[in-house]
């Protein structure tokens, strides 16, 4: 995805717009609040004031050329649903919507958006995981009882290799990559015979129950 249109410049929408632009993506943002538009103009190349529920406004901003749309209209459930419909009318098929409740999510799913996002819930999940285990640095819920986590190497694993630890057999976990915080380097598909250091962090994926067992090793 290279071109994005973002409707709503609250904290979520503005942050998404800024990060996507920093990643080299083509971003157009719109908000009905002129104060938010002026604030965003300081760091976004293309930002405009307008009603994101209006298909003609979106068309004038080039929505029909966008690969994806992000909708972040705060607590206004009606506005987010109407914006999603307007984007679909413009031919935007991949639409991601920030939602505030299960009912909100169900409404947007009926509209046919690609994904509903609960930023507060996801932030709370990560915080809870980090509080329970200081070993967990990042957490991504994959659904169906699965997750991917970035975790510091437990002290008992330092000096041992992945082959020696046998994580797939002992915990049914897959190590996706190893990141050395000291050097800033990341090794995808890591060499199983290289010994782990205390400055390493592991990107692992597996069942939450198995990851919880590993988290207790710290």
Contact 176, 133 (CB under 8 A): no
pLDDT, mean of each 10-residue run, the chain (218 residues):
93 92 94 96 95 96 95 90 96 93 90 84 60 59 76 88 92 88 84 90 86 72
Domain 3-117 has CATH 3.30.390.50: no
Q: What's the sign of the alpha-carbon dihedral 17, 18, 24, 28? A: positive
**For the chain, domain boundaries:** 3-117, 122-215
Cα angle value 95/16/63 (rounded, 5°): 45
DSSP β-ladder status, 146-152 and 174-180: unpaired
Residue 191 CA to residue 56 CA, distance in Å, equals 54
CA dihedral 163, 169, 172, 173 (to 10 degrees): 0
Residue 161 CA to residue 150 CA, distance in Å, equals 18
Report the pLDDT value the prediction gives residue 134, as an integer from 0 to 100. Answer: 52
Q: Which fold has domain 122-215?
A: Alpha-Beta Plaits (3.30.70)
| CA 150 vs CA 20, 30, 118, 131, 132: distances in Å | 22, 35, 21, 14, 14
Which residues are registered as beta bridge partners of 69? 5, 95
Torsional class of 128: left (φ above 0), alpha (ψ -120 to 50), beta (otherwise): alpha
Residue 170 CA to residue 183 CA, distance in Å, equals 29
DSSP β-ladder status, 185-188 and 174-180: antiparallel
| CA 149 vs CA 27, 155, 203: distances in Å | 29, 17, 6
Report the pLDDT value the prediction gives residue 145, as an integer from 0 to 100. Answer: 76
Report the pLDDT value the prediction gives residue 115, as an integer from 0 to 100. Answer: 87
Q: pLDDT tens for residues 159-194?
A: 999 999 998 998 888 898 898 888 888 888 888 999
């Amino acid at each position: 995805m290279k071109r994005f249109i973002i409707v709503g410049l609250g904290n979520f929408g503005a942050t998404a717009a800024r990060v996507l632009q920093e990643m080299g993506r083509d971003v157009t943002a719109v908000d009905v609040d002129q104060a938010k538009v002026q604030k965003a103009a300081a760091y976004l190349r293309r930002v405009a004031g307008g009603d994101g529920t209006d298909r003609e406004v979106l068309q004038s901003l080039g929505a029909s050329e966008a690969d994806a749309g992000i909708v972040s209209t705060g607590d206004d459930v009606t506005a987010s649903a109407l914006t999603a419909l307007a984007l679909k009318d413009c031919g935007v098929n991949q639409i991601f919507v920030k939602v505030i409740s299960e009912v909100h999510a169900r409404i947007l799913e009926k509209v046919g958006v690609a994904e509903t996002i609960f930023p507060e819930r996801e932030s709370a999940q990560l915080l809870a995981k980090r509080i329970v285990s200081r070993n967990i640095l990042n957490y991504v819920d994959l659904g169906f009882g699965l997750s991917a986590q970035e975790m510091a190497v437990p002290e008992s694993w330092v000096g041992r290799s992945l082959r020696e630890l046998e994580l797939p057999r002992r915990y049914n976990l897959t190590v996706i990559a190893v990141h050395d915080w000291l050097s800033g380097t990341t090794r995808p598909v890591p060499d199983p015979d290289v010994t782990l250091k205390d400055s390493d962090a592991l990107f692992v994926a597996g069942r939450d129950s198995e990851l919880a067992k590993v988290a207790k090793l710290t």
